[in-house]
């Protein structure tokens, strides 16, 4: 008699802290929602932070290794750019009859890494004056609408240098071969 065979994919072994950032965010969110640091809420936050990621483990991709120093530097750059862009957009919109020069910019992607590309599009959208409209994976580009753009290529290069290059460093990614990085 032979043992029955299964066509299931092999399951990855789940560890209790396979996604530490998710665990911390879940626990912190619970504490923020409960508006309390009582022991019962601290214990609940700890349990939620440990159990929920473990239950979701089969649905989550493996956590990436992150260069935290590069992530902090990029965060500072993004916050600074958001503040300065808000001022620039306010001047443009509220200024004396200035005429913006809107443009559609195809920004080539240097990597196929989904987190890098998603975060790159998110940062572009978060910065006032630009919106990432489409992430086209077949063409390897993000279509960006800019409220005011004098030099399209300079704006594309600036986005890639300020945001995409640090994101690739954070996630330890190399440029895709044949990409316009």
Question: Which pLDDT score is estimated for 99?
Answer: 80
Question: Could you write out the DSSP letters of every residue in the chain?
Answer: -PPPP--PPPPPPPPTTSSHHHHHHHHHHHHHHHT---HHHHHHHHHHHHHHHHHHGGGSPPPPP--HHHHHHHHHHHHHHHHHHHHHHHHHHHSSS-----EEEEEE-S---HHHHHHHHHHHHHSTTEEEEEEETTTTEEEEEESS-S-HHHHHHHHIIIIIHHHHHHTTPPPPTT---
* Greater model confidence, 130 or 15: 130
Each residue of 137-146: pLDDT tens digit?
889 999 999 9
Model pTM score = 0.72
Each residue of 149-178: pLDDT tens digit?
999 999 999 999 999 999 999 998 888 776
């Amino acid at each position: 008699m032979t043992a029955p065979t299964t066509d299931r994919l092999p399951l990855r072994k789940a560890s209790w802290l396979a996604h530490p950032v998710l665990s911390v965010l879940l626990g912190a969110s619970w504490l923020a929602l409960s508006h309390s640091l009582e022991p019962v809420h601290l214990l609940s936050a700890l349990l939620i932070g440990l159990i929920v990621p473990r239950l979701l483990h089969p649905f989550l991709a493996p956590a990436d290794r992150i260069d935290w120093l590069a992530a902090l530097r990029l965060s500072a750059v993004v916050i600074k750019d958001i503040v300065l862009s808000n001022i620039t957009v306010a001047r443009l919109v509220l200024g004396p009859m200035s005429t913006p020069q809107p443009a559609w910019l195809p920004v080539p992607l240097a990597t196929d890494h989904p987190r890098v590309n998603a975060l790159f599009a998110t940062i572009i959208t978060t910065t006032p004056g630009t919106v990432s409209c489409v992430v086209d994976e077949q063409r390897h580009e993000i279509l960006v609408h800019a409220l005011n753009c004098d030099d399209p290529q300079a704006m594309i290069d600036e986005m890639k240098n300020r945001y995409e290059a640090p994101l690739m460093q954070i996630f330890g990614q190399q440029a895709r071969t044949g990409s316009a990085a």
